Amino acid sequence: MKVAIVILNWNGKEFLKQFLPVVIRHSKDIADIVVADNASADDSVEFLQTYFPEVRIIQNESNGGFAKGYNDALKQVDAEYYVLLNSDIEVTEHWIEPVIRLMDSDATIAACQPKIRSFYEKEKFEYAGAAGGYIDKYGYPFCRGRLFMSLEEDHGQYDDVAEIFWATGACMFVRAELYHQFGGLDEDFFAHMEEIDYCWRLKNSGYKIMYCPNAVVYHIGGGTLPKSSARKTYLNFRNNFTLLYKNLPKERVVPVFAARLLLDGVAAVKFLFEGGFSDFVAVTRAHFSFYRHHHAIKRKRKLLQQHDVSHVYQGNIVTDYYLRKKKKFTDLKNKIN
Q: How many domains, the chain?
A: 2
Q: Is residue 281 part of a domain?
A: yes
* pLDDT confidence bin for 276, thresholds 50/70/90: very high
Same-domain pairing of 192 and 235: no
Average pLDDT over all residues of the chain: 95
Same-domain pairing of 197 and 277: no
- CA 308 – CA 192 distance, rounded (Å): 23
- CA 76 – CA 37 distance, rounded (Å): 13
* pLDDT confidence bin for 6, thresholds 50/70/90: very high
Same-domain pairing of 237 and 322: yes
Q: Is residue 274 part of a domain?
A: yes
- CA 59 – CA 37 distance, rounded (Å): 5
Same-domain pairing of 45 and 192: yes
- CA 289 – CA 281 distance, rounded (Å): 12
Same-domain pairing of 236 and 208: no
Asked if the model's pLDDT at residue 293 lies above 70, the reply is: yes
Same-domain pairing of 188 and 248: no
Q: Is residue 55 part of a domain?
A: yes
Q: Is residue 192 part of a domain?
A: yes
Same-domain pairing of 99 and 123: yes
Which one of 198, 219, 240 terminates a domain? Answer: 219
Q: Is residue 197 part of a domain?
A: yes
Same-domain pairing of 157 and 306: no
Which residues have C-beta within 8 Å of that of residue 194, sequence separation ≥ 6?
Answer: 66, 67, 169, 185, 186, 239
Quote the pLDDT of residue 225. 47
Same-domain pairing of 151 and 235: no
Amino acid at 147: L
CATH number at residue 132: 3.90.550.10
Residue 111 half-sphere exposure, CB side, CA atoms within 13 Å? 32
Same-domain pairing of 214 and 236: no
Same-domain pairing of 245 and 151: no
Mean per-residue pLDDT, 13-19: 97
Which one of 185, 219, 253 terminates a domain? Answer: 219
Backbone angles phi, psi at 274, to 5 degrees: -90, 10
Q: Is residue 225 part of a domain?
A: no
- CA 56 – CA 75 distance, rounded (Å): 14
Give this prediction's pTM: 0.95
Q: What angle do CA 33, 34, 37 make, to 5 degrees?
A: 150
Same-domain pairing of 185 and 270: no
112 is in which domain, residue-wise? 3-219
- CA 334 – CA 162 distance, rounded (Å): 15
* pLDDT confidence bin for 291, thresholds 50/70/90: very high
pLDDT tens across 196-255, in order? 999 999 999 999 999 999 999 999 986 444 556 899 999 999 999 999 999 999 999 999
Which one of 219, 240, 258 terminates a domain? Answer: 219
Backbone angles phi, psi at 218, to 5 degrees: -120, 130
Mean per-residue pLDDT, 42-65: 96
Q: Is residue 224 part of a domain?
A: no
Q: Is residue 249 part of a domain?
A: yes
